[in-house]
Structure 1
Amino acid sequence: MSNTLILASQSPRRKELLKQLGYDFTCVPADIDESVLSSESPEQYVARLALAKAQAIAIKHHDDVVVLGSDTSVVFGQHILGKPESLSDCHTMLAMLSGNTHEVVTAIAGVKGQRFEVVIVSTEVDFKTLSEKEITHYWHTGEPQDKAGAYGIQGIAGQFVKQIRGSYSAVVGLPLYETAQLLSTFGVKSSMTTD
């Protein structure tokens, strides 16, 4: 009997990626405060949020339930770029990323009863140089509004990306390899599990 799995997210992208791995799961979004604490590194920030999301859901369930939490941040220098609230916000973020290399840091957290484990995956992304017109046009597609760093690599913005070093699926929001490894340590089986 495999453990019941809950994804602590409503993200259609995370849902799709977890489905790709062949898991049977339900989605329950966690409502937590996502403010960055002072002197917190991007790695500490995503790890704390991924764990907080998973724990917020796990506390409401039996100890045999495994909860998977995840959080992704786009990082430029030491700036953690959240979701843009306006066109001007989007301009500021994408102008920073334009022609530069940035980092996408994703944390995944597994929680089962008192046990928890957090894994952090970091990917470098190289952007082409973007014109102001391109940024404005992109904003009006509606794609950047709910994305950290104001872009979605799996959508229209894929054409801005010259190269990545690391996990593509982590940039989308859920690192496939690391997620499968983490869930197997919690005894969660997928349709791909062979034993």
Structure 2
Amino acid sequence: MATKTKPFKIILGSSSLARRQILAEMGYEFKVMTADIDEKSIRKEKPEELVMALAEAKADAITSRLQTSEYKENDAEATLLITADQVVVYEGKIREKPSSKEEARQFIKDYSGGHAATVGSVLVTNLKTGTRKGGWDKAEIYFHEIPDEVMDNLIEEGIVLNVAGGLVVEHPLIIPLVEAVVGTRDSVMGLPKALTENLLQEAL
């Protein structure tokens, strides 16, 4: 797919490989920066509020590291910073990244033959104008039974320890075990394409 030539630059404020992959699929070129924030220090009751607050905190952390003056003076084009966050909601409870292998195993065991939802936020900050546009998206995932050996392999490999709720739907071992997704797969993976595209346009 040809890269879109756009009158703006993009910085993706995320270390997530899935988000990089999705943004590349959308046809954008971008730089990657990570926001090293203490996510556990931010607490909200509602998942939608939590993921928005975390995306804001990530944007604040990255913009404070950048010399925003250079983005404002360069009149040629705007630079748009995309930050995002995601949690898994299981039986009404918010799940973030597992704190241990044991917790990751319990999370995956819970999903076996059941279902969970993902709530993800996207925030686009126009570094030239300071404009911020954000939104959130939700998807539900229904699973077949997940065999023990699949759990063992996922935990051994370690990817599940670095994702919200230990949930990876795009993993080759999990793909055949997903019964249905209500919503879009890119939303489950952490960057809903339609929402992101709309917010990019709005932030301009």
TM-score range for the pair, normalised by the shorter chain length: 0.7 to 0.9
Residue in structure 2 matched with residue 76 of structure 1 by the alignment = 90
Change (3 A) 1:16 1:106: same
Residue in structure 1 matched with residue 201 of structure 2 by the alignment = 184
State how far apart, in whole Å, the 2-side matches of 1:36 and 1:118 are.
Answer: 21
AA aligned opposite 1:176: K
1:96 is aligned, of 99, 110, 132, to 110
State how far apart, in whole Å, the 2-side matches of 1:58 and 1:86 are.
Answer: 31
State how far apart, in whole Å, the 2-side matches of 1:134 and 1:20 are.
Answer: 28
Pairwise CA RMSD: 1.9
Change (3 A) 1:105 1:118: same
1:28 is aligned, of 33, 43, 46, to 33
Alignment length (residue pairs):
187
SS at match of 1:80: strand
Is 1:164 aligned to residue 181 of structure 2? yes
Contact kept? 2:42, 2:53, Cα under 8 Å: no
AA aligned opposite 2:90: F
AA aligned opposite 1:140: E
Is 1:175 aligned to residue 192 of structure 2? yes
Residue in structure 1 matched with residue 136 of structure 2 by the alignment = 120
CA drift at 1:184:
1.7
SS at match of 1:140: helix
Q: Which moved more, 1:30-39 or 1:18-27?
A: 30-39
- What TM-score do the two structures reach when normalised by structure 1? 0.86
CA drift at 1:51:
1.9
Gap regions ≥5 residues in structure 2 = 1-5, 73-77
Residue in structure 2 matched with residue 151 of structure 1 by the alignment = 167
Residue in structure 2 matched with residue 191 of structure 1 by the alignment = none
Is 1:110 aligned to residue 115 of structure 2? no
- What TM-score do the two structures reach when normalised by structure 2? 0.83
What is the aligned-residue identity percentage?
Answer: 26
Change (3 A) 1:142 1:38: closer
Q: After TM superposition, which residue ranges in structure 1, 4 or more long, deviate above 6 angstroms?
A: none
Gap regions ≥5 residues in structure 1 = 188-195
Contact kept? 1:58, 1:111, Cα under 8 Å: no
AA aligned opposite 1:165: V
Give the helix-richer structure, 1 or 2.
2
